[in-house]
Each structure stands twice: as structure tokens, then as C-alpha cells.
Chains A and B, each alone.
Chain A
């Protein structure tokens, strides 16, 4: 295999990026209204909540774990943002409430996985239901509707023609990618996810590394919740339901290996944008909304199969 092709194949986000460009070209010609500024803006804004959370889950997946509790976690954080916004107003307090809620939930996930030694899929599956139950118990099924506009700032305002959610996404992408590439913790995540035993023998704390990844998901989900509330203007008890599938799909479709150790933040965002474009394309092409879940499932399967085949092609050791 020529060296150039090999390098290209080795870049985790390369296939998704190529596919995204091709899809955008196809949609530009076939789907009427795809290139409308309003549609693009809408598209990007919708992707932001997904993308911000995917940045966190990406780190968890890189460390060799998984987090499927984020759908319910977003719901709970959104309620914290909404409830504090409703009673106190302002932006900072509701945002902190959302992030705090996320950090607590993420810490519980992380502690159960690392200290309790329970597989992350079981912990986060249990938390997916437990947190949703908690939303219903705390709110008693009540919706939050009258959220003041200063609380909604993160979702509504724009700076110099660029909407605030997009700015947040780009800033977070740069920050998380820098942390991931340059900080000790960021490197440890790759080491622990690539080979946990080897990482432990090298003196890294696999527990602490993975715990912090789960906490990061909480922080980012809290921020995403503020954007979500800002855009939606209200919170229903089913907020974020099913989002966990989109997030996992974004991460693996983008090119981060589900078995850990390989991938990047760019991959997670590429995956999130790709999923946003596909869902948008389905709407523009008049495909009924009921097919969305099937498309997501097919995408996840396609992505993980490609990952497996690519590993085989490059003769990498599957971990």
C-alpha cells in the first residue's frame, strides 16, 4: 500500500470528512433549500448540543469506556438550568446549576465505574433510566415554560453575525483538543484506552484518568443544557430522550475507535456534523421522521464495521 494512502487511512476522521463533503455536494444538488443560509444556520445550531456532548463522550470512549446516560443527563441538567433560570433569572447561576448537576451525575458514573469496578455500559444504562426517573420524580411531570430571555442568552444571541452556540462549539473543540493533545491527562486517556495494563505498569492511574473523563462529560453536558434551554425556551420531561444514541453514533461515525485509544476531538465533531447533515437531508428529501432511528442504527453499524475492516487492513492488533 502506498505510504500516502496509508497515512490517509490512519487519520481517524478522514473517512467521515470525505463522506461529509461528498454528502454535502450531493445534497446541494438534490435537496432543495439545503444551501439556504437559514437552513445551514439551523443545521449548525442543532448540531451544537450534540457536538458539545460528543466532545466529552469522545474522551470516555478514547479511555476505553462508554457513556450512554447522556440523554437523561442532558434532561436533568436542562431542568436545573430551567428551574434556576425561572426563579433567579440571569445567565451565570442557571449555567452553574446545569454544570454542577452534570458534574455530580458524571462523578457518580465515574466513581461506580472506577471504584465500584462495574462495567461502564451497565452503570450508564442504569443511570440512563435512574436519571430519567429522577427528572420525573423531581418535577412531578411539570414542564418549565417561562424562562427569562437572559437565561436563554447562550442559545439566542449572536456575535458579529455568528450565533453564540457555534462560537461555543468551536471554542470547546479547540480547548478539548488542546487538552487532549498536550496535557498529561489527555495523553493518559490515549494510553489507558490503548492498553490499560501497559498504562498501569507504566505508572499511570487508570482509575483517575477514566474518572475525570466521566466528569468532563458532566461539565460539557451542563454547558450543552444551557444551550439547549436557550434554543428551546422550555424544558419538557422527555428532554434529551434518545440523544445518547446520536452521541455514540457521532463519536464512532467520526472515526474514534470504539475499543479505545484511537481518535480525536475533530472526529467527534465531524461525526456530529455528519449526523446533523444526514438528519437534515432526510427532512429536506421528505423522508418521514420515523426512519431517523433506523438511519442512525445503520450508520453506527456501518461505522463500526469500517473501523473493524480498517483495523484488519492495517493489521493493527484489535484490543
Chain B
């Protein structure tokens, strides 16, 4: 059947299409700015996309199950404030970091409680926790900032191994772990099964609630990691850290080919999506395009990406 041969080619080319977009983007941007196409600029860019990338890994799995988490940006702000302000209050920094991780995990668990126990849609739940976490961060910090961290804290966000930023290594390790988890373990199969048909998965013995809880808690952990790296990179803990992060993350994931309706998506696609968005942001900044245009472009990009995705998927089917 011809119609069966076409989808296979299309499926193979999905990541290739993304790569082609990336190459085109790189060429276009290097024409706009002479600094763009240099190794040092690429390594420098990677310092900025690691936070988006880490969170995008968790978001990919959540979106594959048909869920979504809008609270990640607010969660990053809350973790940043939690570790910064307990440190300011006298808690030793290592303990404050653990506390931050705890807050990230707790935030994810709190999301999952509403989603699994009350069977509420993740969208509304995380819209609520977005306001709650950001509000807690603002309230606890009283809209103030902490910045007098000890020197060693800079390691998390400003460390270089040779010319390679430390957080890039963290990201690569995280990508490897989540990739193995999703593509090579039973847990990964469960994630796809839930996304394709939650009820069927439940009746087939998939522990749906447990898998979902683990996903949101795991994403909370990644948010905490991203928050530590971010706070260290800018050496400031502030309540508005991570504002709009959810837009970058969700855009990267759907750009990478994950269906917003659940059931499909890959880590490779997400990583490509993250790199494309980071490249675009970095390139636009270097080409002196104002951040206001960047927000406009990213918002439109998100809509176009989802549209193209579902369009491609329909041709595949």
C-alpha cells in the first residue's frame, strides 16, 4: 500500500525536518550577526538553555501521558526563593539547597494529588498552582531579593570544564537518564500506554495513578535542579525567577513533535526543540531584536508548532 509507505518516510523525517529548520536558522542568524556562528557562542548559549531543557525533559513525559504542567516557571521561582531566603535566615547553604529540592518535589507531589486523587484536569490544577507557587514566592520574599551567596555556590551555574559549561554536562546526563527511562524501560511503555488510552491502560494493569504521581514529582525535581542552576547563574534568588518558563518549555516540547493530545513524543525531538528555541532566542538577542519581539515570536511559534504537528500527524494517519 502506498499510503502505508508514505507515513514511514514521514515518521523518519520528523526529526530530520527539525534538524533542517535548525540548520536554516543557524545560517540565517549567522548572516544577521557575525558573532553567532562561533564555538564560544554555542557553548555560551548552552548555559541558557539548560534550565529550559531540564524542565522540558519532565514536561515531555507529562505531555506524552496527555497531561500538562503550567506551574513549572512559578515552581522555579518558589524553589529559588526557598533556598535563597532560608540561607539568608541563617540556614547553612547545603541544607538550604536540600530544602529547595524538597520544595520542588513537594510542589510536584501537590500537583499530582489533585490530578490523581480528585481526577481533575492537569491544566486547571497547574493553572491554580501557578498562581499559588508564584504567590508564595512573592509573599515569602516580600518581593525582595537575596544575592550574597558564598563563592562556591557559583559552581552550579558558572563552572566551566575547559570551555564546556558545567550545566551542559548535567543536562547531557539528565537527557541520557530520561531517554533510557522513556525508551528502554517498562515505565516508559506505561507512559505511552497512558497517553494513548488511559482507561485501556488502567484495565491492562498499568498503575496509572502511581506513574502520574512519579511524573509530576520527577518534574518537580528537575524544576528544583533548574532553579539551583538558575539562581547560581544569576547569583540572585528572586520571586519572579522563571516567569514565562512554561511557554519556552511547552513550545520546545511540542516543537519536538510531542502530541499535545498525548501518546507520542520523543526525548530526541524535545532536545532538538530546546536547541532550536535557545538558538532562536540567542540569535535574536545577538541580532539586537528586542525581547518584546522575542515574546511575540515565541507565542506565535508555539501556536504554529502545534498546528504543524497535528497537521503532520493527520497525514501520517
Contact = CB atoms under 8 A, between A and B. Distances in A.
Interface of A: 66, 68, 112, 116-119, 121-123, 125-134, 136-137, 141, 245, 248-249, 252, 258-259, 288, 290-298, 300-301, 304-305, 308-309, 318
9 contacts: A66-B123, A118-B260, A122-B260, A126-B299, A126-B303, A137-B292, A290-B139, A293-B132, A301-B114
Interface string B237-256: 00100001011001000100
Interface string B177-216: 0000000000000000000000000000000000000000
B295 A129 contact: yes
A304 B302 contact: no
Contacts of A116: 303, 307
Given A119-B260, A125-B302, A129-B247, A295 B135 contact: yes
A65 B299 CA distance: 19
A292 B139 CA distance: 8
Contact of B302 (A68, A122, A249, A308): A122
Contacts, number: 146
B35 interface: no
B284 interface: no
A294 B138 contact: yes
A134 B297 CA distance: 10
A294 B131 contact: yes
B84 to A, nearest CB: 15
Interface of B: 68, 70, 114, 118-121, 123-125, 127-136, 138-139, 141-143, 239, 244, 246-247, 250, 254, 260-261, 290, 292-300, 302-303, 306-307, 310
B254 A122 contact: yes
A248 B127 contact: yes
B120 A298 contact: no
Given A132-B296, A133-B299, A304-B114, 5 more contacts: A122-B254, A129-B302, A133-B293, A301-B125, A308-B119
B120 A305 contact: yes
A294 B136 contact: yes
A309 B303 contact: no
Given A294-B138, A305-B120, A127 B128 contact: no
A116 B70 CA distance: 22
Given A122-B306, A132-B295, A293 B135 contact: yes
A131 to B, nearest CB: 8
Contacts of A130: 295-296, 299-300, 303
A127 B118 contact: no
Contacts of B293: 133, 137
Contact of A288 (B119, B142, B306, B310): B142
Does more than half of chain B's interface fall in helix, strand or loop, or is it mixed? Answer: helix
The 6 nearest A-B residue pairs measured at CB: A133-B296, A294-B135, A297-B132, A293-B135, A297-B131, A130-B299
Contacts of A309: 118
Contact of A291 (B121, B123, B138, B300): B138
Given A112-B303, A122-B254, A308-B118, A297 B130 contact: yes
A290 B131 contact: no
B131 A296 contact: yes
Nearest to A290: B138
Contact of B310 (A118, A291, A308): A118
A297 B303 contact: no
Contacts of B250: 122, 125
Contact of A129 (B124, B134, B296): B296
A126 B307 CA distance: 12
B128 A300 contact: yes
Contact of B124 (A117, A258, A290): A258
A133 B290 CA distance: 10
A184 B167 CA distance: 58
A122 B260 CA distance: 9
Contacts of A258: 120-121, 124
B120 A304 contact: yes
B67 to A, nearest CB: 12
B129 A301 contact: yes
Nearest to A132: B295
A116 B179 CA distance: 31
A133 B292 CA distance: 5
A272 B255 CA distance: 36
A118 B128 contact: no
Contact of A133 (B125, B246, B297): B297
Nearest to B110: A301
